[in-house]
Amino acid sequence: MNKKTIHSKKIIKQINKSISDSEHKLNIDFLKKEKYYNYEIEEWYGEEFGIKGELRKKIIETLLKTYFEWKNELDKLNKEYYLAIWLYNPRMLKSEIVCAIDEKVNYYENESFLASNKNSEFELNQFGLLSNELQKFTWDRKIDLDSVHEWEINFPKEQYESEKQYNKDQKFYNKLIREKFHVVEKDNEKIYFHPKGDVWIGKLK
């Protein structure tokens, strides 16, 4: 059994545990207080290997199960709400279910992602039997962005473990600053965003 298979099985085990511990359940009290709530597939989603097979099936099943359970709960609130599947590609481990109410609805509807200018449609047939369920949703393509803070760019060379890693990071940072794909200033610090792939926003038709 290779490392990728072992890691996949470990994540499936974590997902199953989160479901058995009801971590995927909608916390209404938190939602009413903070006006949003989300459930992440994996909290530590640094890995970006190709997700397929049993792990991909488990991720999609969990997203669908959680979505419909939350929808039933949100319908009981008798008010406008935002509810969507955020399906990342290729960083599928980042995928989550997100909901919001009141003043947070507009943010999640219109401000949480940059629009993608790619025209190709979501290939639903890649998910086997689950494709039928996914076709019940409309899918809107957005850009999956990762961020680098200014303090990371200015991290002292002498604190790096190796000069090789420092040079590699500096090459990437220089490219990031030069391209200025998307830059935000917060608390007197610049944050540089760069695309990592797509995020498909799925809502029930």
Task: List, for residues 159-185, the tens digit of each pLDDT value.
Answer: 999 999 999 999 999 999 999 999 999
Query: pLDDT confidence of 95, banded at 50, 70, 90?
Result: very high
Share of residues in the chain with pLDDT > 70 (%): 94
pLDDT at residue 52, as a whole number: 83
Entry pTM? 0.90
CA-closest candidate to residue 102, choices 35, 37, 38: 35
Summarize the confidence of residues 182-191 as an average pLDDT: 94
Task: List, for residues 9-26, the tens digit of each pLDDT value.
Answer: 888 888 888 888 888 899
Positive or negative CA dihedral for 9, 13, 16, 18? negative
Summarize the confidence of residues 72-86 as an average pLDDT: 97
Cβ-count burial of 166 within 10 angstroms (0-12 exposed, 13-18 middle, 19+ buried)? Answer: middle
Summarize the confidence of residues 100-124 as an average pLDDT: 91
Using the structure block, give the residue that is written with the tokens 């190796």: 162
Task: List, for residues 19-53, the tens digit of each pLDDT value.
Answer: 888 888 999 999 999 999 999 987 655 555 678 88
What letter does residue 115 receive in the DSSP assignment?
B
Higher pLDDT, 6 or 200: 200
Cβ-count burial of 53 within 10 angstroms (0-12 exposed, 13-18 middle, 19+ buried)? Answer: exposed
CA-closest candidate to residue 47, choices 98, 97, 1, 88: 88
15 to 9, 93, 201, 205: CA distances (angstroms): 10, 11, 21, 27
